[in-house]
Structure 1
Amino acid sequence: MARIAFGGFQHETNTFAPSKATYDDFLKPGAWPGLTRGAALFDAIAGINIPVAGYVEAAKAQGHELLPLVWTNATPSAQVTEDAYERVAAMLLEDLAKLVRLKELDALYLDLHGAMVAEHVDDGEGELLARVRDLVGPDLPIAVSLDLHANVTQRMVDLSDYLDIYRTYPHVDMAATGRRVAVQLDALLKGEGGRFKAFRQMPFMIPLTSGCTYEGPAKEVYREVKLLAQEPGVAGVSFACGFCPADFPGAGASLVAYATSQAAADAAADNLFEAALERESGFALEALQPTEAVREAMRIAAHADKPVVLADAQDNPGGGGNADTTGLLRALISERAEGAVLANLYDPAAAEAAHAAGEGAEITLALGGRSRVPGDAPYEATFTVVRLGDGQCTGTGPFYKGAHMKLGKTALLQKDGVQVAVASAKVQLADQAMLRHLGVEPSAQKILALKSSVHFRADFQPIAEAVLVVVSPGPVVLDNRELPFRRLRPGLRIMPGGPVFQPVAAE
């Protein structure tokens, strides 16, 4: 039995997003628990599909004693403020230092994201790992789980003993990733496992929606990941699609391999690198403009028994959007797409007004559009209040399974046959329970317009006649050529097949 400390600090940073992550954002729960410290962490994460829950379950079964530190996450956004980063990091390091002083620590597991950028630190996870390593010394085994959209850096690889990355997008294997980490960390404690590592960065960026592992090149690449991980001497292989809207040199896709020899680690890494590189062209972006998408959805829905799903991918709060742009809503109402539901639009003031007015009332609102995204504005109209809710529901789908969501006051509004679900918390619409709590049965709708990029597919694709990706205004830009990058590494292709990033010369 070993004494293993565990904790987590998660944020996916879109450096082009309109709002930064403050300390308060890490405190409040959304789809997952808010900041939790100490023994309360066991109950807070129990039964949820997140890595730390899977790790704790597996490590307990191995017979280890687990020592909880701090775990927190905040909805993706622009940079984490310096205040928030330093306060959370200080808590984790303070709790860890107590165990180090007592000399009662054998290993450490951290549940991180891998794409955190703070106001004062580009590589949030690399910096955190550097501080942790300085505290615990060079010999303590440190194992880390990362999101599939991690922007993995050499610093992260060098300062940890093992990194494992989700293999699915939608991320239905988050808890399973935690369990894989438990297996490897246990092996390292026994003097076994893969102590040799190899890291490679891909020469091209993968558009967010092109990394979906349900189909296409991503499905094939992650099949290779599984096969290579079973090779003799290989302890683990991971591929990260990266998170494109992050303007710093570490952004982009990458991979890491662990093995019992350097030769085996290098061979696995090189084979995976070539497998991904030869599929580069398949990662090309496929998406429709709002009006075009709505018309196509209406055409399909006219003869379908199942809903057509529109992914409002560029306003996804899971990628840094505020979930309040109105481009797709305007198109639905303009085209009179009766039987359509758009969800969830973040507007606490509108939800409050709907609750004050009551069900059945008509209210005039300037809905959404507060993010000041170019090409977007509040949608001013009179709506009927169809249903009110308290925003509390439990995820039932593969992605948010077991998550106790707290969306604040919610309301279902209607105009010209189109309904819009309004929420007071920014959580991407990736679970049918989020609609059912407002009396909307997802499978009975003609069109579902969801503020999510890919995670919705886990619960909605099985009930969908078709899925269409929409490029309505929003800060989670899918075509990287539209992003004003200034700090990427030279030579990186910002879209599959090009163009190549070149630094702007200083004037």
Structure 2
Amino acid sequence: MSQPRTPAARPVIAIAGLGIESSTFSPARTLAPAFHPSRGDEVLARYPFLDKGAPLREAAEWHGALVGKSLPGGTVTAEAFAALSDELVERLAALPRLDGLWYDIHGAMTVEGIDDAEAVLLRRIRESVGPDVIVSTSMDLHGNVSRALVHGSDLITCYRMAPHEDHMETKERAALNLVDLLVSGAPRPVKAWVPVPVLLAGEQTSTRIEPAKGVYAAVAEVEALDGVIDAAIWVGYAWADEPRNRAVVVVTGTDAGAVAQGAERLARGFWDARRDFAFVAPTGTLAECLDEALASPARPYFVSDTGDNPTAGGAGDVTWGLTRVLARPEFRTADGPTVIYASVPGPSAVRTAVEAGVGATVTVTAGAEVDDRHAGPLTMTGVVHAVRHGDRDAGTEVVLRVGSVHVIITALRKPYHHEHDFTDLDLDPRGADVVIVKIGYLEPELYAMAADWKMALTPGGVDQDLVRLGHHRIRRPMFPFDADMAAPDLTARLIAPSDEALTGADE
């Protein structure tokens, strides 16, 4: 363990980071503007617990460098990563001498020509701020945690819930642990890292149900042990083909024995449960899901169009599902079952609908401008039901009623997670018969709204059938790709403090 440090009565802390889930199985590319970067005081405004007057805000001198978060999407271009990284490092260099840095990332960013982009960026940050700065890293549990990323971080944690209802609580924990360490002057923590050769989709590892519910319940028990500061389990991100992708456990603390034992306990729990993970909802083909929805008295009945989920990294413009919905004879007339479909991008379709106005009948073509592998652009004739401008993600949205289907068309791709996403468009999801959303597991508001729900196993850049996607660069053996693999070595790897040289492979 490193030596005790000088306590900082009111430490100086910077906040920086870039976050995205990048599917390497999507043909989409992510550009710099998609990260909507915040700078300076804009960064602090992202976190309610750092509002002026809040105890944590007053406990340190906080400086925002640059924080950018993109909707999940395709691989980030090398130019975008370079531009954002260069600016982030330049802004850090212009700040006062730092005691600490909070590295707020997602952890599943893939960049053209770069493996382990978050560790690469953290190495650049450390070269700028110096080796003595204490780094606390906060992540999504669907991030990927290499040995290099753990080595570069002094503290590291992630969400404990999927869906991520604890996302802000996790960020606050990362910031609070950092302040506590700086104020105490305690030595840099010990870190125990255990890679677990399992790679599963998030929809199979929701903490709403077992076994993930019980696996993650053990995190708090380990964290409560003497000598432990934080414990975390990462499921990993399944839709990127990179060597670092797998489940990982990290425990940090002051007692090497306690953190190692705690990490091994959590890793064994995850490994032992690997065959028990199942989808968070009943699944079927799209046709089977629609048949069941129409036969059921439950209203509204939600169907997840999972393969093109934009919040998992899908391009968002796959038309395969919508083509089949509009082909259903039940939906061809206006008096058929009320269906809402969210959504498909189509900039030219949006322009046409906006020019025509609400109530007009238009023929437009949308979708498949990015991902046309499964179906081509879709031409539709319908009545413009609603127009809305100024959405942060979509830009402009229109609703086109085609028969009894209300199709949401966007200028840019957008996830639909909240009731107001629909009511803002003069749609009533609670009164609909069927609501079809490009999503995996339903986000909390949709989950509460759904009278019943099924997940359609549809094609796209985030196909739930991982084995058929064709991973080539992940470390093998890996479950479920090698279903009968031998038991792995789940011994904790103790990783040296960040001020010591990193040696050895990322095993």
Scaled by the length of structure 2, the TM-score of the pair is: 0.88
Aligned with 2:13 (options 4, 7, 13): 4
Aligned with 1:314 (options 292, 307, 312): 307
Instruction: Give secondary structure in 1 for the equivalent of 2:224.
Output: coil
Does the CA contact (< 8 Å) of 1:56 and 1:66 recur in 2? Answer: no
**In the aligned structure 2, how far is the partner of 1:54 from the partner of 1:280?**
39
Scaled by the length of structure 1, the TM-score of the pair is: 0.88
- In structure 2, the CA distance between the partners of 1:115 and 1:439, relative to structure 1 (3 Å rule), is same
Residue 27 of structure 2 corresponds to residue 18 of structure 1: yes
The equivalent residue for 2:358 is 359
1:164 shift after superposition: 1.0
1:346-495 to 2 correspondence within 5 Å? Answer: 346-392=345-391, 405-454=392-441, 456-495=442-481
Aligned with 1:144 (options 117, 126, 137): 137
Higher mean C-alpha displacement, 274-283 vs 143-152:
274-283
Does the CA contact (< 8 Å) of 1:202 and 1:277 recur in 2? Answer: yes
**In the aligned structure 1, how far is the partner of 2:469 from the partner of 2:149?**
26
Q: Name structure 2 gaps, 5 residues minimum.
A: 1-9, 332-336, 487-507
- In structure 2, the CA distance between the partners of 1:120 and 1:55, relative to structure 1 (3 Å rule), is farther
The equivalent residue for 1:291 is 287
Letter in 1 for 2:477: G
Aligned with 2:327 (options 330, 334, 338): 334
**In the aligned structure 1, how far is the partner of 2:375 from the partner of 2:353?**
23
Does the CA contact (< 8 Å) of 1:239 and 1:254 recur in 2? Answer: yes
Instruction: Give secondary structure in 1 for the equivalent of 2:294.
Output: helix
- In structure 2, the CA distance between the partners of 1:361 and 1:333, relative to structure 1 (3 Å rule), is same
Higher mean C-alpha displacement, 278-287 vs 219-228:
278-287
Instruction: Give secondary structure in 2 for the equivalent of 1:78.
Output: strand
1:38-117 to 2 correspondence within 5 Å? Answer: 38-43=40-45, 45=46, 47=48, 60-99=56-95, 102=96, 104-117=97-110
Cα deviation 1:407-428 (Å, max 9, x = unaligned): 2111111112111111222221
Count of residue correspondences: 468
Instruction: Give secondary structure in 1 for the equivalent of 2:417.
Output: coil
Residue 138 of structure 2 corresponds to residue 128 of structure 1: no
1:167-186 to 2 correspondence within 5 Å? Answer: 167-186=160-179
Does the CA contact (< 8 Å) of 1:151 and 1:242 recur in 2? Answer: yes
- In structure 2, the CA distance between the partners of 1:54 and 1:419, relative to structure 1 (3 Å rule), is farther
1:167 shift after superposition: 1.1
Instruction: Give secondary structure in 2 for the equivalent of 1:5.
Output: strand
**In the aligned structure 2, how far is the partner of 1:39 from the partner of 1:165?**
24
Does the CA contact (< 8 Å) of 1:326 and 1:377 recur in 2? Answer: yes
Letter in 2 for 1:13: S
Instruction: Give secondary structure in 1 for the equivalent of 2:216.
Output: helix
Cα deviation 1:210-247 (Å, max 9, x = unaligned): 12221122222111112221122211111111111111
Cα deviation 1:55-85 (Å, max 9, x = unaligned): 9996734521101101112222222111111
- In structure 2, the CA distance between the partners of 1:296 and 1:183, relative to structure 1 (3 Å rule), is same
Does the CA contact (< 8 Å) of 1:206 and 1:495 recur in 2? Answer: no
Does the CA contact (< 8 Å) of 1:75 and 1:426 recur in 2? Answer: no
- In structure 2, the CA distance between the partners of 1:196 and 1:499, relative to structure 1 (3 Å rule), is closer
Instruction: Give secondary structure in 2 for the equivalent of 1:69.
Output: strand
**In the aligned structure 1, how far is the partner of 2:69 from the partner of 2:409?**
23
**In the aligned structure 2, how far is the partner of 1:192 from the partner of 1:224?**
26
- In structure 2, the CA distance between the partners of 1:472 and 1:65, relative to structure 1 (3 Å rule), is same
Letter in 1 for 2:437: L
- In structure 2, the CA distance between the partners of 1:475 and 1:413, relative to structure 1 (3 Å rule), is same
Does the CA contact (< 8 Å) of 2:38 and 2:68 recur in 1? Answer: yes
Q: Name structure 1 gaps, 5 residues minimum.
A: 27-33, 48-52, 393-404, 501-507
The equivalent residue for 2:7 is none
- In structure 2, the CA distance between the partners of 1:437 and 1:488, relative to structure 1 (3 Å rule), is same
Does the CA contact (< 8 Å) of 1:54 and 1:176 recur in 2? Answer: no
Cα deviation 1:23-76 (Å, max 9, x = unaligned): 2323xxxxxxx2122233334x255xxxxx669996734521101101112222
Letter in 2 for 1:224: A
Does the CA contact (< 8 Å) of 2:21 and 2:109 recur in 1? Answer: yes
Percent identity between the aligned chains? 28
**In the aligned structure 2, how far is the partner of 1:332 from the partner of 1:499?**
40
Residue 46 of structure 2 corresponds to residue 37 of structure 1: no
- In structure 2, the CA distance between the partners of 1:355 and 1:384, relative to structure 1 (3 Å rule), is same
Residue 265 of structure 2 corresponds to residue 278 of structure 1: no
Does the CA contact (< 8 Å) of 2:205 and 2:278 recur in 1? Answer: no
Which is higher, the Rg of structure 1 or of structure 2?
2
How much is the aligned-residue C-alpha RMSD, in angstroms?
A: 2.1
Does the CA contact (< 8 Å) of 1:20 and 1:79 recur in 2? Answer: yes
Does the CA contact (< 8 Å) of 1:194 and 1:258 recur in 2? Answer: no
- In structure 2, the CA distance between the partners of 1:56 and 1:185, relative to structure 1 (3 Å rule), is farther
- In structure 2, the CA distance between the partners of 1:495 and 1:465, relative to structure 1 (3 Å rule), is farther
**In the aligned structure 1, how far is the partner of 2:150 from the partner of 2:454?**
37
Residue 174 of structure 2 corresponds to residue 165 of structure 1: no
Letter in 2 for 1:441: D
Aligned with 2:214 (options 220, 228, 241): 220
Letter in 1 for 2:419: Q
